[in-house]
Structure 1
Amino acid sequence: MHASSRSFRTGRRFLARHRPQIALEYFRKALRSCPVDERQELVRTLFYIGIVLKQVGLPSSALKTWLTARGLHKRSYAGRMADRYMNDYGMLRQMSSELDDWNAFYSVQLKKYLESKRSRKIGSQGEKDMIWDLIFEYWQGILRSGVLRGKSNSEKLALFSDVEIIFPYFSLPAEKHEIIQVDFFSRSRVSPDDPCPCHSGLPYGQCCGRIKCDEELLYGLF
């Protein structure tokens, strides 16, 4: 039994004892020491890491971990967990489609705001709350207008990206650079419904082009 297997078994024991934080450390140790050619073991470890992350209140990190595992083995338990918890934006599924739309809109606009700052960071809780309130105010206007009715997720996402919110700046804004996603093999711009150029078999919008949630934008993921 190599080191990764021992760490994995120890992690499962701590998970069974309802000590997820300690279990996570052992699963991480198992992942670091697992040989790269042991795909099944890598996928199994990532699956359990996702379970623990969800237990400790980091569901978006759990989803990202399961998506990583699905990239190694499409028909794994981790892949089924990703399908269960992921919405059409490639984000964590919410209680309703309206909440899915709100999360996508908020994340698109939060990313715009962060990219406009030289620091790429939120400086205080007060700043974070103010930006949330401002984005939500625009969101309420979108809902009142009824413009989302009958639109596909791709059409909604294009609309969310087109909305320009006038954000207050706490310092000089950074220069804007638009990033255009292109499939260089087909020499065409990639849309969310297109197959992902990484050949995962998933739509681009649920794979490399998935919308990063606020947790990921602000703090990064596991």
Structure 2
Amino acid sequence: MNSPWIFPDKAKFGRVVPKNKIYEHSAASAGLKSLFVQQVDQILWAYKLSPNTLNIPHTSEISEIQVISVKLKGDEVDNSVLKAIDLAIPFPILFEVWGASGEQGHYAACYKRKAENDQSKWVCSHYLHSEIFNSGEALTVNSEVLGLPTAIDMEELYQKLLARLLPIPKRTAESIEEAIQRLEAIQALEKQIAQYRKKVHAEKQFNRKVELNKQLKNLKCEIEKLLA
């Protein structure tokens, strides 16, 4: 089990973000507000990763990356809650999500980019979630401590941070957006495979069962190609 990543002291921001500000800037529905009340204890703007705090240049796409710490009332957070915070804050965000006990957490992020037809709006991809890690007080001798990856600019840093969250290896020369699209395709195929397995199990006719198994095998081959 890993430990929280180490961020530079110079990047510390440490300001509580009121939930009503998130509601206001994300046009949150009544249902979404209810999820915030049920799941979120506190939202803390923990770090600002910027040219001033990291001494690396910004790019036209990425000027800063914000680290937002979300303390939960339980142990789970809905992706729609994270997306509302993403839509309310006009910068790429890395979420540090902590369970109610404060002893364990994980990182989460989407690939967030400016909309092609409106640079004032942002588009969020599928959310990536890291493995669970222990808090600093609960570290073991086997804990892996990670600092920030080396990068020539803010955009490369963002790509490398997101790559850490991928559950599949990133291919050489593959962009983070392409890797996430490939992951989504794999997950869609996994759902299809689960459905076909149920059909195979329930099917009584031999010929139909053979055909379903053939289709199941084809789906597995598609996944293997995407994982290669």
Q: Which TM class, normalised by the smaller chain length?
A: under 0.3
User: What TM-score comes out, normalization by structure 1 length?
Assistant: 0.27
The alignment's TM-score, normalised by the length of structure 2, stands at: 0.26
Q: Which is greater in Rg?
A: 2
More strand per residue: 1 or 2?
Answer: 2
Higher percent of residues as helix: 1
